[in-house]
């Protein structure tokens, strides 16, 4: 994210890093696992210049500073809500990519009045929603990181991030059925989240829209022009 300075806000248990861009209605950008706010390039931010956009480094990622023994979406979503309170944000749209999409679902459940419209890109509320091959690879890397930790290497943050991908999100289907926030779910033609899992998720959340973006993967969908246009149309 060139030319945008990183700022910090002190919250309970975390010094949270973020960048701010544009002016207008508030919009939060939430990155995926093992990534940071830097994935939201200047190209993407210009498409949302009509918003006052905040790209966050969530707990355990990027330049945010915290001491964690475990990462949970419950805790990460609480951080986002605390960030909004600290910045005086009473109402915000949200775009969450991958694990950021999971956090967006938590926000919709916890504070629907603050977050009336959310775009979740390739979220999964259950570990079983991840494709089998991807899950095998995540488990393989987790085992490797565990060995490196036992050998004394500083890999604790990496372990926590992979552990997060190996646990269900922590939200019940009954809670998903109770969400009343406007929700757009995007996913890639070649995604690491199972299509039938996303279809089930969209069926659980009342009024949720599900859209498949062709010609991209889980790793590229967030910057695909068709996905960006779909989000712009949805956010208005």
Task: Evaluate whether residue 113 is within a structural domain.
Answer: yes
Q: Is the pTM of this model over 0.85?
A: yes
C-beta of residue 29 within 8 angstroms of C-beta of residue 79: no
Residues of the chain short of pLDDT 70, as ranges, are 1-3, 42-43
Q: Token pair 């949970």 is at which residue? A: 72
How many residues would you count in the chain?
236
Euclidean distance between CA atoms 229 and 73, whole angstroms = 27
**87-127 pLDDT, tens per residue?**
999 999 999 999 999 999 999 999 999 999 999 999 999 99
Residue 59 lies in a domain: yes
Antiparallel, parallel or unpaired: β 52-56 and 14-21: antiparallel
Q: What is the pLDDT of residue 4?
A: 83
Domain count, the chain: 1
Domain presence at residue 2: no
Give a yes or no: residue 144 inside a domain. no
Could you give the residue ranges of the DSSP H alpha helices within the chain? 42-47, 73-87, 99-110, 132-150, 156-165, 173-177, 195-204, 225-235
Q: What is the reported pLDDT for 1?
A: 46
Residue of 188, 24, 176 lying closest to 107 (CA atoms): 176
**Does some domain include residue 145?**
no
Assigned domain for 123 exists? yes
Judge whether 160 lies within some domain: no
Could you tell me which residues come within 8 angstroms of residue 74 by beta carbon, excluding any fewer than 6 positions away? 106, 170
For residue 47, give its domain range.
7-130+169-235
Residue 43: what pLDDT?
65
- Domain of 228, CATH number, reads 3.40.50.1820
Residue 190 lies in a domain: yes
């Amino acid at each position: 994210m060139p030319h945008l300075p990183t700022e910090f806000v002190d919250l309970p248990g975390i010094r949270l890093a973020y960048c701010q861009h544009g002016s207008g209605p508030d919009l939060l950008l939430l990155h995926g696992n093992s990534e940071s706010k830097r994935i939201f390039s200047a190209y993407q931010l210009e498409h949302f210049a009509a918003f006052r956009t905040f790209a966050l480094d969530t707990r355990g990622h990027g330049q945010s500073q915290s001491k964690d023994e475990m990462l949970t979406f419950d805790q990460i979503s609480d951080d986002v809500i605390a960030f909004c309170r600290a910045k005086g944000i009473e109402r915000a749209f949200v775009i969450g990519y991958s694990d950021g999409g999971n956090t967006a679902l938590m926000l919709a459940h916890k504070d629907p009045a603050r977050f009336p419209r959310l775009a979740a890109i390739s979220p999964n509320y259950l570990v079983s929603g991840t494709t089998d091959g991807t899950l095998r690879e995540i488990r393989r890397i987790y085992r490797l990181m565990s060995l490196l930790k036992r050998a004394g290497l500083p890999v604790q943050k990496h372990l926590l991030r992979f552990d997060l991908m190996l646990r269900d999100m922590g939200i019940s289907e009954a809670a998903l059925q109770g969400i009343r926030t406007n929700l757009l779910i995007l996913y890639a033609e070649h995604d690491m989240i199972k299509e039938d899992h996303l279809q089930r998720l969209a069926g659980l959340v009342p009024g949720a829209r599900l859209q498949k973006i062709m010609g991209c993967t889980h790793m590229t969908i967030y910057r695909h022009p068709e996905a960006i246009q779909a989000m712009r149309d949805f956010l208005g």
